[in-house]
Chains A and B, each alone.
Chain A
């Protein structure tokens, strides 16, 4: 083979590799069945192998933060519902607690317990959706409808206590919007009893299915240090074996009164931090949430849940960063008040956004089908990514 143009030349002729293939740019989304909303991922692929993945966000931007500067303290709450529309109760909770701490407001006991119950119920509902849609991403359709069947029962409970099924506006600054109706507590306990055995069914049909394990184990491994440096939080970080749960590490509301375990990934089916671990953390967390709900519902004190709701919210000038553990991870509200009727600034540190940001780091080298599995296992909600 001729190597150079001239015998003595130091310039070598580039001979194209006959086996070299071109990269293909693939636009996955915003209209794609498994991007969980309107996410666009620009893929550079070599056949089935992904060389790079670049998430493009902003298709669902609704200016929450700017809106919050122009509405009263209380009116922000319905807007927080719409950040992570699958776990609205948890979003309400973070904002409400943040404002309460700025006001130095003591909240009624009963309201605190109700808050914990609804937040944990909502965590179960959110994890159920994560499970179901993950099954859908992998190609199993049936578990999706099983989890929706059970989620529906949670939504019925929510509808009974606050009248809404998705966007609750329930957790208010200083308390909750409605006290629990007659018999609601018993229904919650009934649901927990019904729900716990159902998790075994999901395990039978999906979690321990060999095909599912093959598809998810050893795929999309997020090492703990990479996860931490990208700011991944919630089940996605715990799947990498990091014991970090704000309910334990930085307790808010009355979480310090309940007994529950923080689930971390153990790498049972493959490497620590693979998609199966993240998935499994969610499954196991539903047990823990059920445990918390049972304790809270049994200890639920008597009283008036609306007792401590202030007539006018007067927030002294200052700033506060409130972080709570939502089903997706650490949701932070950075609130600045100038003492006026409206917040001066509400900045949201959204867990889904940070979790998504790790995608380009772990995507190279996986297959397209794996990329779908990875996006699914990060459990993003585009409403929160774009805000």
Chain B
């Protein structure tokens, strides 16, 4: 928490005069609200962007009416619609679990934001095991999805939940291994130090380290992270044409909105991890561009990754369950093991 507190003390000097517990509480609440606000705004923007990107890729133009300029307010209108809709809980659903599930999914996504290094000084929590924390926190979204699918008392939801459980648990492994390849070299799990180890110009970024080994690790991480956040071609838990709506078949209104928000927040989190670990975080690609502040670089790189996720989504068909497992266990996992091995050898030699 130290850098964040420092940051706030610099920003608002009068906080120093307050008792420490009060200042810490205020800083904590403000930071949490900031994160929540960012997630909400990001999700609104990303949904709008996804609509626009998909529309233009399909020779359409997407929303154009609400708000005037290219329908920028369309998602706001949709969110309001979702929020005022009737809150339906199926009759035979497990009410408590049903209501809890979206909250858990969203919390898991939001908790990931705690360790994202926006810039050198602004990290909500600079844990020395930041990467480990983010991996473990993001993996409990699966509990929420499983809960939602089970509690809905709907067979399609159950299928979605089962698929999602097997998928997300399996893909944890290539994700962790691909990140490990970098961690081995950097020798730290702290997000801040991971970025700082990459300082210099674009060639010092981890993607180009041990070329092409980490580049492959980056691709493995990217593919596995797609599966982690249930995006096409790994969107089996939702698999609209097979499972109607997958685990959120029975959800509507605000609870559905929270699943949606969680999905988009997750998209950002995995992109942000990729940025931090492989793409030099808040660092500019070249020294002379350092006048642009770090957060802009960070968000910009993460948004590029988000865009690539969308691009893939609107290009590819969906895999089947067994092929999904094949990709994970027979392609991604062996390759990431091999990369760890090779990087180890490289370092020794």
Task: Determine whether B99 belongs to the interface, using a CB cutoff of 8 Å to chain A.
Answer: no
A13-21, A180-188, A368-376: which lies at the interface: A368-376
Q: Bin the interface of chain A by size.
A: 20 to 34
Task: With A368-B159, A369-B239 as known contacts, state yes or no: A142 contacts B315, CB within 8 Å.
Answer: yes
Task: Determine whether A320 belongs to the interface, using a CB cutoff of 8 Å to chain B.
Answer: no
Task: Determine whether A57 belongs to the interface, using a CB cutoff of 8 Å to chain B.
Answer: no
- With a cutoff of 8 Å between Cβ atoms, the chain B residues found around residue A84 in the complex are none
Q: How far is the CA of A206 from the CA of B318 in the complex (A)?
A: 11
Task: Determine whether B347 belongs to the interface, using a CB cutoff of 8 Å to chain A.
Answer: no
Task: Determine whether A32 belongs to the interface, using a CB cutoff of 8 Å to chain B.
Answer: yes
Q: Are B317 and A215 in contact (CB under 8 A)?
A: yes
* CB closest residue in chain B, given A206: B317
- With a cutoff of 8 Å between Cβ atoms, the chain B residues found around residue A367 in the complex are 320-322
Task: With A136-B241, A140-B316, A141-B314 as known contacts, state yes or no: A149 contacts B59, CB within 8 Å.
Answer: yes
- Interface class of chain B by DSSP: loop
Report the count of interface residues on B (CB-CB < 8 A): 28
B175 to chain A, nearest CB (A): 20
Q: Are B317 and A140 in contact (CB under 8 A)?
A: yes
Task: Determine whether A386 belongs to the interface, using a CB cutoff of 8 Å to chain B.
Answer: no
CB within 8 Å of B: which A137-167 residues: 137-142, 145-146, 149
- With a cutoff of 8 Å between Cβ atoms, the chain A residues found around residue B153 in the complex are none
Task: With A24-B155, A142-B57, A146-B59 as known contacts, state yes or no: A34 contacts B241, CB within 8 Å.
Answer: yes
B319: which of A34, A137, A146, A215 is its contact (CB, 8 Å)? A215
Q: How far is the CA of A205 from the CA of B236 in the complex (A)?
A: 20
Q: Are B58 and A33 in contact (CB under 8 A)?
A: no
Task: Determine whether B54 belongs to the interface, using a CB cutoff of 8 Å to chain A.
Answer: yes
* CB closest residue in chain B, given A205: B315
CB within 8 Å of A: which B259-285 residues: none
Q: How far is the CA of A206 from the CA of B322 in the complex (A)?
A: 20
Q: Are B323 and A139 in contact (CB under 8 A)?
A: no
* CB closest residue in chain B, given A35: B241
* CB closest residue in chain A, given B57: A142
Task: With A139-B232, A215-B317, A370-B320 as known contacts, state yes or no: A146 contacts B58, CB within 8 Å.
Answer: yes
Please report A residues at the B interface, Cβ cutoff 8 Å.
Answer: 24, 26, 32-34, 48, 135-142, 145-146, 149, 205-206, 209, 211-212, 214-215, 367-370, 372
Please report B residues at the A interface, Cβ cutoff 8 Å.
Answer: 54, 57-60, 155-156, 159, 232-233, 235-236, 239-244, 314-323
A-B contact pairs, 8 of them (CB 8 A): A34-B241, A139-B240, A142-B57, A206-B317, A209-B316, A211-B316, A211-B323, A369-B318
Q: Which 4 pairs of residues, A with B, have the shortest CB-CB distance?
A: A139-B318, A145-B58, A140-B317, A138-B317
